[in-house]
């Protein structure tokens, strides 16, 4: 009997245990469901907060747009004032006032259209701000509904926790978990209270922004009144403009007279333009002629260079054969004078070829100076230039009146070439004289050298052409040998040394060819 009772009690206990376990499972399911609801409410609260932040940013953007609109309005008023000032200045310029007035009127119309458009834009921004405020109010009401629902859910949760505590008095672990959940719920409730306080603060900020918008609208009304004043001022300005139109008509009459004078000037200008066209054509012809001559000169230089090189090799062979014949021929032989003449001809050909090569180098810019310090007196004394020329002339005596005893930095060979050329010309063009005088001196940091002869002299009209290539004085060209390259080469060598050439001459009395060399070329 006792055994049956114990068995029945055990069965009842097992049934109670099963029932308690089922209730515990139901309580856990309800708790999970409540946790999910609570998470949903938290997510909704987060979304609501984000929406509120977004609305605050939108409100700030609208406020900044309103500030920009106000700045634009101030800027437009300033622009209007500038336009008025420009209009006053335009009135003072009588000769172009009609065109300026039309421009200013057009600009004023555009400014008014822009102002009307901007006022419309401002009104749109104000309407958008009102709509944004209404949306914010609606969202605040929705948030309050969500908060009320959350409070109801919290009260329901409290009730369910109380019911659960009655049912799960024996379930200690479940009670501990439920206590922890209640603590979390209290934290969420505290967060909800903080959120409500923030919402109240935001509503206060919204009211402040609305007050600012009212103040901005008042400022806009004031600006419109100012615009009316400016329109009245514009009417006065138009009256002044009419008066100025009368003045302008007077000026127009004066302008007609000026236009007649301008027409006369245009005729004169047309004549000058025709003359200029003729001058330009002549200049073009001269340029074409100059280009043609430059091409011809280049071809001529190329030809001279080729001929000089082609002549140089056979002339060397001829000279060698001639020297061999001179050595083997007795001076008493009848053919020896012919050999002497041939020797002079060979020397003349060598000089011509050397001159042609120098000319082609000068024209192509390839002539180089071997600059070195040398004793300048050596280029003058009997051991060099003067001695070499005196050997070729029997009747002429070359007198060096004074010398320059210093070291000069230049190309000694080229300086001697200039001196030899001048001395050779002096002897050639003074066949009846017996002296050639060389002067050398120092003057203001320059070495001055002059070669003076007592020959035929040169006319003044020919002196300025002496240093041109192939130029020869027409009166004497047939009487004296030469091709007109010596003085050209000499002048280019002196130019390379930064020096200058000048000539003093009198027909029938002689000539003096002088050059100056700076001590620091």
Which one, of 186, 196, 182, 190, lies nearest residue 146 by Cα? 196
Residue 155's pLDDT is what?
80
Which tens digits make up the pLDDT trace of 6-52?
777 778 877 877 777 777 888 778 788 888 888 888 788 888 778 87
Cβ burial of 312 (10 Å; 0-12, 13-18, 19+) is middle
The mean pLDDT of the chain is: 80
Name the CATH architecture for the domain at 276-367: Orthogonal Bundle (1.10)
How are beta strands 407-410 and 446-452 bridged, if at all? unpaired
Residue 146 pLDDT > 50, yes or no? yes
* Region(s) of the chain under CATH 3.30.565.10: 371-518
Taking the whole predicted model, whether its pTM rises above 0.75 is answered as no
Residues 6+ away with beta carbon under 8 Å from 413: 370
Average pLDDT of the segment spanning 80-108: 74
CB atoms within 10 A of CB 31: 18
Categorise residue 457: left if φ over 0, alpha if ψ from -120 to 50, beta otherwise.
Answer: left
Cβ burial of 251 (10 Å; 0-12, 13-18, 19+) is middle
Which tens digits make up the pLDDT trace of 453-499?
999 898 888 888 888 877 777 566 456 666 678 888 888 889 989 99
Give the integer Cα–Cα distance in Å for 512 and 440: 13
* Region(s) of the chain under CATH 1.10.287.130: 276-367
How are beta strands 397-400 and 435-443 bridged, if at all? parallel
Q: Which residue has the tokens 């020919």?
A: 462
Residues forming a β-bridge with 438: 400, 451
Residue 518 pLDDT > 90, yes or no? yes
Q: Which fold has domain 371-518?
A: Heat Shock Protein 90 (3.30.565)
Q: Which residue has the tokens 């001076």?
A: 331
Which one, of 388, 413, 430, 399, lies nearest residue 489 by Cα? 413
CB 51 within 8 A of CB 139: yes
Average pLDDT of the segment spanning 423-440: 89
């Amino acid at each position: 009997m006792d055994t049956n009772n114990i068995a029945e009690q055990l069965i009842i206990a097992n049934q109670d245990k099963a029932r308690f376990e089922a209730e515990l499972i139901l309580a856990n399911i309800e708790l999970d469901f409540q946790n999910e609801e609570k998470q949903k409410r938290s997510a909704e609260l987060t979304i609501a907060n984000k929406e509120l932040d977004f609305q605050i940013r939108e409100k700030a953007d609208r406020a900044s747009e309103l500030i920009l609109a106000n700045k634009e309005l101030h800027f437009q008023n300033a622009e209007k004032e500038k336009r008025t000032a420009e209009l006053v200045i335009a009135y003072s310029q009588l000769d172009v006032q009609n065109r300026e007035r039309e421009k200013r009127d057009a600009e004023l119309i555009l400014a008014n259209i822009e102002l009307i458009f901007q006022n419309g834009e401002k009104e749109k921004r104000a309407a958008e701000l009102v709509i944004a405020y209404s949306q914010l109010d609606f969202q605040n009401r929705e948030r309050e509904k969500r908060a009320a629902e959350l409070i109801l859910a919290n009260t329901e949760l409290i009730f369910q926790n109380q019911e659960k505590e009655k049912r799960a008095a024996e379930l200690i672990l479940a009670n501990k978990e439920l206590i922890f959940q209640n603590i979390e719920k209290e934290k969420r409730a505290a967060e909800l209270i903080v959120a409500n306080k923030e919402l109240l603060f935001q509503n206060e900020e919204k009211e402040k922004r609305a007050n600012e918008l009212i103040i901005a609208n008042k400022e806009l009304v004031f600006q419109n009144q100012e615009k009316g004043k400016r329109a009245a001022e514009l009417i006065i300005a138009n009256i002044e403009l009419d008066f100025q139109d009368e003045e302008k008509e007077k000026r127009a009459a004066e302008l007609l007279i000026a236009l007649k004078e301008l027409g006369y000037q245009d005729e004169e200008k047309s004549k000058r333009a025709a003359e200029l066209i003729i001058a330009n054509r002549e200049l073009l012809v001269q340029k074409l002629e100059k280009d043609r001559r430059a091409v011809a000169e280049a071809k001529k230089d190329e030809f001279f260079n080729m001929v000089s090189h082609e002549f140089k090799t056979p002339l060397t062979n001829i000279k060698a054969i001639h020297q061999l014949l001179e050595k083997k021929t007795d001076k008493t032989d009848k053919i020896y004078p012919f050999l002497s003449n041939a020797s002079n001809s060979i020397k003349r050909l060598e000089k011509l070829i050397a001159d042609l090569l120098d000319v082609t180098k000068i024209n192509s810019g390839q002539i180089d100076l071997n600059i070195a310090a040398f004793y300048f007196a050596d280029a003058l004394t009997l051991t060099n230039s003067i001695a070499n020329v005196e050997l070729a002339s029997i009747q002429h005596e070359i007198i060096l009146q004074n010398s320059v005893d210093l070291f000069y930095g230049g190309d000694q060979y080229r300086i001697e070439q200039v001196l030899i050329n001048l001395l050779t010309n002096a002897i050639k063009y003074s066949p009846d004289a017996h002296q050639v005088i060389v002067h050398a001196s120092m003057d203001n940091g320059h070495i001055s050298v002059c070669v003076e002869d007592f020959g035929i002299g040169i006319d003044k009209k020919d002196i300025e052409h002496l240093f041109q290539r192939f130029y020869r004085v027409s009166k004497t060209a047939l009487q004296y040998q030469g091709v007109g390259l010596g003085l050209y080469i000499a002048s280019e060598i002196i130019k390379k040394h930064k020096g200058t050439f000048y000539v003093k001459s009198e027909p029938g009395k002689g000539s003096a060819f002088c050059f100056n060399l700076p001590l620091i070329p």
